[in-house]
Structure 1
Amino acid sequence: MKTWLLRCALGSLALSAPALAQDEGDDPYAYPDDAPSYDAAESYDGIRPKVDQTDDFRRVSEQEGDDGEDDFETLSSLDDPNLGVAMEFISGALFLDSPRGRAADTRLGLGVRATWEYGRILDNESLREALWADLRWTYGGTSDGTEFLQGKTNIHYFTIAPAYELKLGKSDFGFFGQLGGGIAYQASSITIDTVETKVSGIKPLFQYGVGFRGRPRITSSGNLRLAFRVEAMGFRRGYHNDFFLGGSLGTAF
């Protein structure tokens, strides 16, 4: 009897072991060996298509505010805070038209001018430094005669002349053309022995010419610049056509 009971107990234990092992837990979860790695950038690109940033800038520049004015403001004045003002001293050869029909009298021409780059007030990047104007004074004189009879003539040219400059890329140099007007003040004197007779007058003046202009920076920081020009300029006063060939040197701010 005892042997039979022992055999039944051992048989029950043998059958219950696999069942208990099955009930205690399932097989471990099998992860695939080639699971794709998660890339946040690729996942984002897959959800939202790429947008060209130039489209955003274009929309901002074309967007109008409630008052009907463009909300997009240029920052050229911050990139280059120069005042656009220059002062230069002028020197060169002045060819005075002879009233007697002979070759022009070559004399030293001197002067000074102030330049204002008025294109800066137009809020246009292409015209910012291309448009400017000069307020100019140029002087020249001539004399002729003998010890007994002498004649002297001094001519002062006062002009206001706007100009348009073609910049050489984004450099501080360029070629320009200029047209303007003003007055020519002429003072003449004739001396016979010790008696002097003076005659003076004013005539309208037309100025025209071309040249090369430069405004390089003097220091890496700051607004001080070196201003210079090489020019060929004509002065038409009445029926006389004087001609100036020279240059100028000064500073710009």
Structure 2
Amino acid sequence: MKTWLTRCLLGGLLVTSPALAQDDDAPYAYPEDEPARDEQQEAEEDAYERRRRQVDETDDFRRVSEEEGEEGDFKELAGVDDPNIGFAVELIGGALLLDSSEGNFAKTVAGLGLRATWEYGRTFNLEPLRENLWADLRWTYGSYSDGTDFIRGDTGVHYFTVAPAYELKLGKTSLGIFGQLGGGIGYQTTSITIDAAETKVNGIKPVFQYGVGLRGRPRLSNKLSLSFRVEAMGFRRGYLNDIFLGGSIGTAF
């Protein structure tokens, strides 16, 4: 019986495969044992990712800007990122040289006024015309007195004009040189006082406006700009030619 058991045990040992120990040269790599990433490699990968996003955004913008309208015309996007509306209001001040009906040198008086400006070139949605075409709705006033204590004459002249203009921008600055032509009406009020008796004479004449100047619109904020001008403007009423030399200042939005 012992001989039989001994033979069974020896046979089992011969059939069983040997258990080998793990090779110490290739240990199991735990997550905490992985080498740290190289900082330079991370920086290069981040830079590549940023460049890739910029290229994608540029391609998207180009694709949108090159979209065609219903009739196949190129769609201009000149006004997409412009926060300004194109309106300005300015106070006017300067010297008004009123032509003399007596043939003498012009009477120089203070010229005051107010104007509103509309950049109607924005309605065309074309970049070269957006700030180059604009028009003024303008009121200008000047007055003077002449005579003695017994006989005195007081005269006031009002100009109400509408005048479009074209401006040439000076490079990338906010400045531009402009020429302007327009028209309107001139309203003149005259009162003649003799002793205590006063006689008033009022009249209206058509006015032709013309002139040149320098216009600036430096930006104060995202939607607000300082608007100013220096100009030489003429007002032709009948045979009289009045000249305004001065400027204006206000705000544009």
Shorter-chain TM-score bucket reads: 0.7 to 0.9
Task: Report the Cα offset of residue 64 of structure 1.
Answer: 4.9
Correspondence list, 1:179-218, <5 A: 179-218=181-220
Per-residue deviation, residues 88-144 of structure 1 (Å, max 9, x unmatched): 000000000001000000000000000000000011110110000000000001110
Match of residue 72 from structure 2: 69
Over the aligned positions, Cα root-mean-square deviation in angstroms equals 2.1
Work out whether residues 87 and 119 of structure 2, in 8 Å CA contact, stay in contact via their aligned partners in 1: yes
Per-residue deviation, residues 164-220 of structure 1 (Å, max 9, x unmatched): 00001222110000000000000000000000000001000000000000000113x
Name the count of aligned residue pairs.
195
Match of residue 231 from structure 1: 231
Of 128, 131, 134, the match for 1:129: 131
CA distance in 2, matches of 1:79, 1:168: 22
CA distance in 1, matches of 2:79, 2:97: 41
Question: SS where residue 120 of structure 1 aligns?
Answer: helix
Any unmatched runs of 5+ in structure 1? 1-52
CA distance in 2, matches of 1:170, 1:96: 38
Correspondence list, 1:169-180, <5 A: 169-180=171-182
Work out whether residues 192 and 199 of structure 2, in 8 Å CA contact, stay in contact via their aligned partners in 1: yes
Deviates more, 1:189-198 or 1:72-81: 72-81
Per-residue deviation, residues 142-168 of structure 1 (Å, max 9, x unmatched): 110000000010000000000000001
Q: Given residue 225 of structure 1, which amino acid in structure 2 is its aligned partner? A: S
CA distance in 2, matches of 1:69, 1:201: 55
Question: SS where residue 102 of structure 2 aligns?
Answer: coil
Match of residue 89 from structure 1: 91
Per-residue deviation, residues 46-103 of structure 1 (Å, max 9, x unmatched): xxxxxxx99xx69x84x756x4232x43332122221000000000000000010000
Per-residue deviation, residues 211-241 of structure 1 (Å, max 9, x unmatched): 000000113xx21100000000000000000
Match of residue 155 from structure 1: 157
Report the TM-score, using the length of structure 1 for normalisation: 0.73
Larger Rg computed on CA atoms: 1
Seq. identity, %: 67
